[in-house]
A and B are shown apart, each in its own frame.
Chain A
Amino acid sequence: MARALVQVRDLVKSFTRGTERIDVLQKLTLDVGQAEFLALMGPSGSGKTTLLNLIAGLDQPTSGKISVGENVISEMSESELARWRTRHVGFIFQFYYLLPVLTAYENVELPLLLLALTKEQRRKQVTTALDLVGLADRMDHRPGQLSGGQQQRVGIARAMVTDPELIVADEPTGDLDTKSADEILKLMEILRAQLGKTIIMVTHDPKAASRAQRILHLEKGQLVLDTAAGV
């Protein structure tokens, strides 16, 4: 494995429901290499999405340490995490979560608004991102005017427009037909292979997982299997 971009050490995440304590992740340790495409699989409630949220800085662990590159994100405050996410992480969601009142261009531009860029620099980056996902000709369309596959491609453009080193994807093909899903997975492979992005993808779909380089299986908050794809 290449040098680890993501390092997770003794990660514990617990929730309290009433008087009951639920340990979603239990002393989990994991490394994800630079430019690695990792798939996280496991049954519902196994802790996949919780792990993804923690690695992406959307939530904070009960204990343990998470580092992404030089940053120890498990020690950051909420506003520090927000700033860090803008520059270092791209998100791809199952249901795209594009803002319906904004055009494709404006949706992709959103994270760039938080960076100190000129209007021209923003335009260049948005156009490049939309070009990469093959939607440069649809930049003035609203999400409602695009198909599911196209919306997810806009979502991918939005995830990569700030040029983050890490992209996290939560069931990115879960809402798509086979053909569209295949296109999205190809795009993710391109992001890894050509742009050197590290991708962590949560999926239930073995076919989607097989496109990753490595598959981790979680059960009851613990890693039970770590395999190379196709094994």
Chain B
Amino acid sequence: MFGMPSEMGPTGLDPSMGLLAGYLLGVLGGLNLLALGLGFITLPVFFILLYAVEQVSLAISNATGWFPAKLVLYMFRGLRRSPLRTSLTYIALFVLTLVLSMIYSVLVFIGRVTTEKEADFKAITTHKTIIPSQMPRAHYEQFKRELAKLPDGMRPKNGEADLMAWSFFLGTTDPISKRPDSNVFAFCIEPRKILTMMDGLDDLTGKEKADLDAAVAEMERDKQAIVMSKMRMKKMNLQVGQTIKVTGLNYTDLVFDLRIIGELPDGKYDNISFINSAYLFSQLDAWKLNNPKNRTSEPHPMDAKCINLIWVRLPNKEAFERLAAAVNDTGNFSNPQIKLETASSGFGTFLEAFKDILFGMKYLMAPAMVAIMCLVIANAISIGVRERRTEMAVLKVLGFQPRHVLFLVVGEAVLVGLMAGFMSTLIAFKMIGNLKLQIAFFGAFFVPGEVLLYGPMLGAFVAVAGSIAPALNAKNVKVAEVFSKVA
């Protein structure tokens, strides 16, 4: 993303386009199967829950004798009468609400990262035209000078702390047989910026903050220090205190001796490491001066390409516009030319490639799923109504009004919809949300809390939409016709 070389990545996979496309389509397809499996697995829980709620309903109706409470009780009894049909209805609604909860979560996630902030927002500088973005170190220094030229009120509030450059580094501890699990992917960065500019690390508290503070101090003292994510260390069977020799893959011919001095908390930076950028630059300089293969003292091929991104936190839009004009000025940055975007605009530009997929998810797939599920529910409820036509007629004979019959039929579907929606979104929220899946470099994917409300509402809505036609059919059942056919 934003110029990260396609061969780079924490696991050796394509980390940008391929990753996002994989998550949006592959995960979405797999999610249907997963939801189906989870629907089957949770069936016993559903029936236990159904029974438990029925007992509550029974207690209420016994205590109050209230007619609506009795009707609700009869709905629960009705659901238990045909376990197969109830199960299939539950699974259909479970799959629907789970998948749509995930689609909603993805859209919320994307909306969040592409929403423009008005003040104190981050902007990104990248190569103007080429992906992957690669710039020389001199650009970073020039960028600092341009920042300093901004008038008061437009310069970053925290000075240097609001500025950082990333150099992506991919190496391996096993240069002979390169494998994904021996790869080290790191951001080479000025250590202090980890505490001020990295989302999710700039707001740690308690022991995690104290540990990271200590690790940053150690990185500043020892430029060969590396901080790795817990997940990566576990995968590579490494521990804090160990030293590793990492051979560069994108920085060929460079070998890094690194000492693991700390670990990153679980979550957003799983599989990622931080190295002091000063070590990378010194390695590049050493290659130029000391490499025996390099008799003409040519710089390393990556020397003029070792800055991938420059981040800056700006106080307001005016500052952004002024700085963007300076960045666009070819007198300042000519080889290569670069551009400045807000972070959200940058994400938006990146997501532009996926706009058709996102459009399809939002306006085609989601409504199509709702429509299909309505038909599935309508079919299931219709069969139930047909089987219980005589029963509905008996209720009417006894004096039940057509609206009571309608309420009973729709109510049964709504109960299943609410419970399936609740269970699926609870699973989405608790299980899938906790997986902390990472979509490219947007950070850990999360399931927003509001799905716990929207899921059951969606389940209930689909249940009403699907059951209304058969319920109207049941409501309008002609008693005399039913009994004349029976007789």
Contacts and interface: CB of A to CB of B under 8 A. Distances in A.
A49 to B, nearest CB: 6
Contacts of A56: 397
B479 interface: yes
B80 A79 contact: no
Given A59-B480, A94-B487, A100-B81, A85 B398 contact: yes
A99 B394 contact: yes
Interface in A156-178: 158, 170-171
Given A83-B399, A119-B65, A50 B484 contact: yes
Contacts of B265: none
Contacts of A93: 394, 483
B74 A85 contact: no
Nearest to B75: A101
A58 B394 contact: no
Nearest to B80: A101
A58 B402 contact: no
Contacts of A100: 81
A102 B480 contact: no
A111 B398 contact: yes
B78 A101 contact: yes
8 contacts: A49-B483, A59-B479, A83-B399, A99-B74, A101-B81, A113-B70, A118-B65, A119-B64
Nearest to A99: B391
A170 B487 CA distance: 9
B87 to A, nearest CB: 17
B398 A110 contact: yes
Nearest to B394: A97
Residue from B67, B77, B483, B486 with most neighbouring chain A CB atoms (10 Å): B483
Contacts, number: 71
Contact of B400 (A49, A114, A171): A114
Contacts of B390: 97
Interface string A111-134: 101100011001000000000000
Interface residues of B, number: 27
Interface in A45-92: 49-50, 53, 56, 58-59, 78-79, 82-83, 85-87, 91
B401 interface: yes
Interface in B340-397: 390-391, 394-397
A86 B399 contact: yes
Interface in B37-89: 64-65, 67, 70, 74, 77-78, 80-81
Interface residues of A, number: 32
A76 to B, nearest CB: 13
Contacts of A85: 397-399
A82 B78 CA distance: 23
Contacts of B67: 113-114
B480 A58 contact: yes
B362 to A, nearest CB: 42
A215 B409 CA distance: 41
A59 B390 CA distance: 16
A122 B62 CA distance: 12
Given A58-B483, A95-B486, A114-B399, 16 more contacts: A49-B484, A53-B483, A58-B397, A58-B479, A58-B480, A82-B399, A85-B397, A85-B398, A100-B81, A111-B398, A111-B399, A113-B67, A114-B67, A114-B400, A119-B64, A158-B398
B74 A101 contact: yes
A49 B398 contact: no
Contacts of B395: 110
Contacts of B64: 119
Nearest to A88: B399
B459 to A, nearest CB: 23
B400 A82 contact: yes
Contact of A79 (B391, B401, B486): B401
B65 A82 contact: no
Contacts of B483: 49, 53, 58, 93, 170
Residue from B64, B397, B401, B487 with most neighbouring chain A CB atoms (10 Å): B397
A114 B401 CA distance: 9
Interface in A27-49: 49
B487 A49 contact: yes
B225 to A, nearest CB: 70
Contacts of B398: 85-86, 91, 110-111, 114, 158
Contacts of A111: 398-399
Nearest to B66: A119
A97 B401 CA distance: 18
Nearest to A118: B65
* Top 6 closest pairs, chain A to chain B, by CB: A86-B399, A119-B65, A101-B77, A59-B480, A97-B394, A111-B398
A170 B398 CA distance: 15
Nearest to A60: B480
A83 B391 CA distance: 18
Contact of B402 (A49, A79, A91, A102): A79
Contacts of B399: 82-83, 85-87, 111, 114
Contacts of B81: 100-101
Nearest to A110: B398
A99 B78 CA distance: 10
Contact of B77 (A83, A102, A113, A170): A102
Nearest to A174: B487
A213 to B, nearest CB: 24
A208 to B, nearest CB: 16
A111 B402 CA distance: 14
Residue from B78, B402, B487 with most neighbouring chain A CB atoms (10 Å): B487
